[in-house]
Amino acid sequence: MATSMRGLTQFIADIRGARVRELEEKRINKEMANIRKRFKDGNLDGYQKKKYVAKVIFTYILGYKVDIGHMEAVNLISSMKYSEKQIGYLAVTLLMHENSDFLRLVVNSIRKDLNENNEIYNCLALHAIANVGGQEMAEALAEDVHRLLISPTSENFVRKKAALTLLRLYRKHPEVIPAAEWASRIVSLMDDIDLGVVICVTSLVMALAQDHLEAYAVCYQKAVDRLNRLVIEHEYTATYAYYKVPSPWLQVKLLRLLQYYPPTEDPTLRNILFEVLQAIMNNCAEPTRNVQHNNAQHAVLFEAIGLAIHLDPNSPLVSTATVLLARFISSRETNVRYLGLDTMAYLAARADHLEAVKRHQGTIILSLRDKDISVRRRALDLLYSMCDVDNSDVIVGELLRYLKVADYGLREEMVLKIAILTEKYAGTYKWYVDTILELISAAGDHVGDEVWYRVVQIVTNTEDLQAYAARVVFEYLKSPSSHESLVKVGGYILGEYGHLIANDSGYSPIEQFQVLHSKSQFCMAPTRALLLSTYIKWVNVFPEIKEQLVNVFERYRHVLDVDLQQRACEFYALATRPAEDEVLQNVCEEIPPFPARESALQTRLSRKLTDAGDRRTWVHGGSVTLDRQATRRTTKPALGDIHGNGSAATSGIDGSNGANDITQSLMGLDLSSSPTALQAKTSFSELQSAPAQFLAEKGIPRLTTNHNVERWFEKLTYSSEGVLYEDVQIQVGIKSRFHGHIGQVAVYIGNKISAPLTSFTALLHTEEPDALSVSFAKIAPSIIAPRMQTQQLVNVECKKVFTKAPILSLSFLAGAHQSIAVRLPIVVTKFLEHVKLGQAEFFERWKLIGGPPRESQAIFPITLADSGFINTERQRQVVSGSCLNILDGIDPNPSNIVAAGILHMAEDGNVGCLMRLEPNKDAKLCRITVRSTSENVAAELQRLIQKPLSTDAVS
Amino acid sequence: MISAFFIFNQKGEVLISRLYRTDLKRSIADVFRIQVVSNSDVRSPIVTLGSTSFFHVKINNLYIVAVTKCNANAALVFEYCYRFISIAKSYFGKVDEEAVKNNFVLIYELIDEINDFGYPQNSEIDTLKTYITTESIMSTATAVEESSKITTQATGATSWRRADVKYKKNEAFVDVVETVNLSMSAKGTILRADVDGHILMRAYLSGSPVCKFGLNDKLVIDKSERGMGDAVELDDCRFHQCVRLDEFDSDRTISFIPPDGEFELMKYRSTSNVKLPLRVIPTVNEIGTTQVSYVVTVKTNFSNKLSATNVVLRIPTPLNTTTVDCKVPSGKAKYVPAENVVVWKIPRIQGGSEVTFSGHAQLTSTTTRQVWARPPIDVDFQVLMFTASGLIVRFLKVFEKSGYNSIKWVRYLTKASGSYQIRF
């Protein structure tokens, strides 16, 4: 194409050949005038337009201002020739910014190209959307891009591009993409056969899932399954193996994606995951000579270690990982050292026991002197994370020593961290004061105000510390040069507590004054002001040096600085009042302890943590540091003391709590709790009416409803096998077996059509996870062959009484994306076991339990059998189907049914249940009474048994 | 004083490098290249980095650079650079990269001669030419004699003139050349008008004549004497070294023993009572967003015996101009897209007359509507026998011991090139 445009080649050659800038400008001016003339004249054919627009583009990318040719570019886009279209799109993406008015003209052409059957046009259009992607464009075209992504007719590379385009749009305008609504459809693409598509879709899912954890929860299972297939089953084409590592990019993405979710509760998934992680770690046990191979392996490995730590910081996997990490932090390669330290810092932040990390303390401290600054930075982070009471002396000492030679860029952060560690893990006051003062004198300019405020706060709040602090600070001030921050601390502490040490030799008032005042001439105005305040305090407590002090005030009364002058004048007036006056004493009352306040240091530190790209899955010095701190606190009482009246102690915790909140929200720890809380309030019918958007956002599948579904469900509540759901495409059958609190439900899923169901996903969802646990024995296959049936075993365990049956949601691709969500017939009654009781026994217990609240009673209408009698047969069937043992001969009335059973629960133990059903033929009513040792059980049992019986009445 | 002298080409490559003192290293050239040549932000001719100052003059894409580490007189350093340029011009014509490369040996010879340990020395071209020659070497006998002459001359009272000059015909030519700078606002008020004048002299006179030179009677140089009617006021003036300044200071007479051949007798500057030879009256209207109409009238403002020649007007057009149709009564007008101007060339305009250009520029539509900056119209011209400052040579007297008669010629020329600008 370029060869055919001779004018363009010549133009570029001319510009390249221009010796000086002026010549180049002249050539361009000339060309632009020519193009203006041509465009103005009109009547250009496609080739000419293409050529001139290409020249305009070239001029533009040289950095010249171009404001013509936009209209021609827009025209070119709608051309039918590829080369013209291409230049048109190039011009649009280069010349137009996202808010350009011209983009409105382009939107329709782009949409047309998206709808075109020609996949190259699709790609050009997608490319343009991704590159320009303004708000308006995103709103107009996101739908079409999504359609291209999910369309079964799209080529793989179109789908790849579509996924990435959508990702770009989402990152730029998250509000435009209905992420939650599209969740299931997008996630289903993670099952695609083409790994390239999977990589792209995973990137998209990663971005979406971060903001919509619940809605994208399905991807967890998909990711685990895919990892399993890649790592364990080696199911990938040779083209996706990079130096023998199966698609490291995909692996890394999947492992990272899993870290955004809280560790899974599902034992099956967990086992598979551990197996995968184990395999990854085993693969990396031996480093190879090939650098590329190592890189690929390490990339996967570090993510895997991250995930392992995330899943369970105390698992044996993590100890394996620690061994690996230890090798990495002493590696010869800088990158590996960096990553090793970084991951170790994560481990230190999460793990309860730091012994494994502490073993390498020496190596880590050595890393502080690494030749690479970023490695030094990571080492600092790690030391900060791994610090606790036992090693704080060593670490803080080491950091202080290193501070003096550290890079300037690192010092401020170091100072903050040292200050926090010192405060958090101080064993004795002495150590705390010594360390902080040494810090201030060593770091000088890098000490923020927060640090010395904090010192003052703690000294003020801790009475025992005051005299010692005054003495130490005085010693520091005696050195010929001291930093201003030190002078400030000195000024404050000596002013408040100087009198405590005034009687000791060498600390007399006049000496204190001389030492402090000798520094004042080197200080800035605010520090001098502080010193003036110190002097007025001294006037109160040291009458013997009043003369010198008043002298100072006298001199300062004439300085130019307004603040200083005012202070001096006021203090002078105050100091020269008659001796019997009490104003001075009242003014200089000792400072009361500070109210508990959040440590400003932590806030300052956490403010530094901002990330642009994908969110980090953890922060330094995160959650577990707090727990660790708390446990240590109980074992070492000295620690609590340092915080004096207890006020500062809480502030320390508050500080780390603040960081915690962030961590928690990041990791979505409240995943399980919030929907339950919501669900408890929303009844079944409310769920139905709730907007789909809301449900999707919460990750609750929308239940499929029709009359049949309810009927099937109800039938299964009192029988152990049958059809749960059926439509033209799929049939779901159930076979269940319960023993005590454990049950096993086999779900048979049959494909009724003559095409395979692809991207098949089965998910279980309980609304009361702490009362009932359900999980698949293994992950469902992603394809169901035509006219075939697959069986999935569900393990059930009842822990407490529950009222909501778990939801089974199935989704699959059969032409279009389908999803079904039905409740599994797992109800409390399934966990009942027969119990044999005699008449006397029964009534004894019946009376023992007594009336409400442990009794639940209801009267409901029933229909009679065709014969006009009570349908006793059916009633008996329902009752015995509910696993209650019908006891004959207890009730004198033969149509009454009396039954008993024991409910087995793993956590709440066994609960006995007694039931009595009294139908009345004439009134067509029936009374049900359930008595149980637990009131919840009684109510729930009554509801469950009554329901099928009364339905009869209705139908 | 000057510690080093360099010549760089456009790309910052060193063509000539001379260190006069040891306080600099040769690598200082890199500093200049990085800080000045490669840095398009630097416009100032003086750049001080640390304790080192770079003085540069640009000519034909060459940088003539003097470097100093002490507090040198900046005017002196620049004068030195310009003097070097004029010497180079007289030795090998054009000063450009190629000429410098071809004559680098000569250049080193020259810069060693005109500067010693950083202090500028005799830079009189005629004198230099007597001992720095581009021709083949003379025989030793004459060379000794010649060199002793040179020594006497260079160390004598009139270092700029040999004693034994002889001409059959004694002639002296005086050229007064004035360059007019003007910037006029759109409303017709004069924002700035000044005249740079040079008086050039070519003297072909025998012996050692003493010349006396008289300008307008009412020449005013000192500011305190200002405000005396129609006097020609000069803001400042500078003389060739041959002029006896003490006499000028005491009684305002310009007397001198001229060097042999061509030299610049005097330079001056005048900012008041500037007579503008050409008046330009532009009327430019933007009609909508697609057209601009021009009517530009040029009036001559001097006696009709004289005429302006080589008049060139550059009339700016908007940046999105496609075509311009021009109508002119005389000369040729053409749209030059490369520079975004209409160039109107008029070979000659008689004094007291006027010519008018009218035209329409067609514009193309642009995406972002931007206001046209309307750069000024630029006029170049030459007017013979006219001085914008009003300066006139009254007399030139030559006194010589032999008392020969001499012929004197005086010419005046006023011109403008590139800085006669009218806004509209």
B368 reaches A (C-beta below 8 A): yes
Mean pLDDT confidence for B215-235: 64
pLDDT tens per residue, range A630-655: 333 333 333 333 333 333 333 333 33
Percent of chain A with pLDDT over 70: 87
Integer Cα distance of A424 and A629 in angstroms: 8
Distance in Å, alpha carbon of B11 to nearest chain A alpha carbon:
9
- In this structure, the number of other CB atoms found within 10 A of the CB of residue A445 comes to 12
Which residue in B364, B366, B369, B372 has the most chain A C-beta atoms within 10 A of its own C-beta, making it the best mutation to test that interface? B364
pLDDT at position A615 = 53
Given an 8 Å threshold on Cβ–Cβ distance, is B339 in contact with A26? Answer: yes
Residue pLDDT, tens place only, B173-206: 999 999 999 999 988 899 999 999 999 999 999 8
Q: Is the pLDDT of residue A816 over 80?
A: no
| Inter-chain touch A67–B367, beta carbons under 8 Å | yes
Contacts of A37 in chain B (CB under 8 A): 322-323, 364
**Phi, psi (deg, nearest 5) at residue A807:** -105, 135
DSSP one-letter string for A696-708: HHHTPPPPP--HH
Per-residue pLDDT for A900 more than 80? yes
Is the omega angle on the peptide bond into residue A853 within 30 degrees of 0, that is, cis? yes
pLDDT higher than 60, residue B41: yes
Average pLDDT over residues A232-261: 88
Higher pLDDT, A510 or B154: A510
pLDDT of A253 strictly over 60: yes
pLDDT > 90 in chain B, percent: 45
Taking residue B159's Cβ as centre, other Cβ atoms within 10 Å add up to 15
CB B10 to CB A29 under 8 A? no
Contacts of A60 in chain B (CB under 8 A): none
One CATH from 2.60.40.1230, 3.40.50.150, 2.40.10.10, 3.10.20.740 for A664-826: 2.60.40.1230
* Contact yes or no for B385/B411 (Cβ under 8 A): yes
Which 8-state DSSP code applies to residue A231? I
Confidence of residue B296 (pLDDT cuts 50, 70, 90): very high
pLDDT value of residue B228? 53
- Considering only CA atoms, which of A940, A951, A841, A821 is closest in space to residue A882? A940
Residue B121 phi, psi dihedral angles, 5° rounding: -115, -165
Residues of A in contact with B323 (CB under 8 A): 37
Residue of B40, B322, B323, B372 to mutate, testing the A interface (most A Cβ within 10 Å of its Cβ) = B322
Say which residues have a Cβ less than 8 Å from residue A41's Cβ, sequence separation at least 6.
none
CB contact under 8 A, A67 and B337: no
Does the interface predicted TM-score (ipTM) exceed 0.90?
Answer: no
Beta strands A807-814 and A816-823, pairing class: antiparallel
Given a contact cutoff of 8 angstroms between Cβ atoms, the answer to whether A557 and A565 are in contact is: yes
Q: Find residue A822's DSSP bridge partners.
A: A808
**Distance from the B289 Cα atom to the nearest Cα atom in chain A, whole angstroms:** 13
Q: Select the residue of B340, B362, B365 nearest A29 (Cβ to Cβ).
A: B340
B-chain residue closest to A23, CA distance? B338
**pLDDT at site A783:** 82
Query: Could you tell me which chain B residue has the CA closest to the CA of A34?
Result: B322
Strands of the sheet with B254-256, listed across from one edge: B254-256, B210-214, B395-399
Could you report the per-residue pLDDT of B77-93, keeping only the tens digit for each? Answer: 999 999 999 999 989 88
**CB-based contact (8 Å) between A64 and chain B?**
no
Q: What is the model's pLDDT at position B114?
A: 92
Residue B352 exposed, middle or buried by CB count within 10 Å (0-12, 13-18, 19+): middle
**For A330-346, how does the pLDDT look when each residue is reduced to its tens digit (9 = 90+)?**
888 888 888 888 888 88
Average pLDDT, chain A: 79
> Between A706 and A94, where is the model more confident?
A94
Give yes or no for residue A223 having a pLDDT over 50. Answer: yes
Average the pLDDT over A661-667 and give the result.
37
- Would you state the pLDDT for residue A602? 64
Which pLDDT belongs to residue A700? 61
The identity of residue A91, as a single letter, is A
From CA B269, how far away is CA B388, in angstroms rounded?
11
Q: Flag if A33 and B338 touch (Cβ within 8 Å).
A: yes
Residues of A in contact with B364 (CB under 8 A): 36-37, 39-40, 68
A-chain CB neighbours of B62 within 8 Å are none
A97 touches chain B (CB under 8 A): no
Query: How many beta-carbon pairs below 8 A join chains A and B?
Result: 43
Kindly determine whether residue B320 and residue A27, on different chains, have CB atoms separated by under 8 Å.
no
- Retrieve residue B8's tokens: 């760089």
Interface test with B, best of A67, A70, A74, A103 (most B CBs within 10 A): A67
Check pLDDT > 60 for residue B169. yes
Taking CA–CA distances from B318, the nearest residue in chain A reads A33
Whether A258 has a pLDDT exceeding 50, the answer reads yes
Q: What is the pLDDT of residues A49-105, one digit of tens each?
A: 899 999 999 999 998 888 888 888 888 888 888 889 999 999 988 888 877 778 888
Asked if residue A500 lies in contact with residue A466, where contact means CB atoms within 8 angstroms, the answer is yes
Identity of the residue in B61, B340, B364 whose CB atom sits nearest the CB atom of A40: B364
Measure Cα distances from A875 to A713, A902, A917, A922 in Å: 18, 20, 9, 17
Query: Is the pLDDT assigned to residue B411 strictly greater than 90?
Result: yes
Q: Please answer yes or no on whether A68 and B321 come within 8 Å at the CB atom.
A: no
Q: pTM (2 decimals)?
A: 0.67
Tell me how far apart the alpha carbons of residues A716 and A720 are, in angstroms, rounded to a whole number. Answer: 6
Within an 8 Å CB–CB cutoff, is residue A22 touching chain B? no
CA-based nearest distance B181→chain A, Å: 24
Asked whether residue A699 carries a pLDDT value surpassing 80, the answer given is no
CB contact under 8 A, B320 and A102: no
For residues A200 and B138, what is the distance between their CA atoms, to the nearest angstrom?
Answer: 86
Note whether B339 contacts A67, CB cutoff 8 Å: no
Q: Does B337 touch chain A (CB under 8 A)?
A: yes
Contacts of A290 (CB under 8 A, 6+ apart): A243
What is residue B141's predicted lDDT score, i.e. its pLDDT?
61
How much is the average pLDDT of A101-116? 86
Domain positions in chain A: 464-587, 664-826, 831-949
Residues 6+ apart with CB under 8 A from B113: B121, B128, B132
User: Using the beta-carbon criterion (under 8 Å), do A33 and B322 form an inter-chain contact?
Assistant: yes
Beta strands A925-932 and A885-886, pairing class: unpaired
Q: What is the pLDDT of residue A622?
A: 43
| Rounded distance between C-alpha atoms, residue A216 and residue A184, angstroms | 7
CB contact under 8 A, A36 and B61: no
A831-949 maps to which CATH number?
3.30.310.10
pLDDT at B342: 93
CA–CA gap between residue B209 and residue B357 (Å, rounded): 53
Would you state the structure tokens that stand for residue A944, as one six-digit string? 């469950």
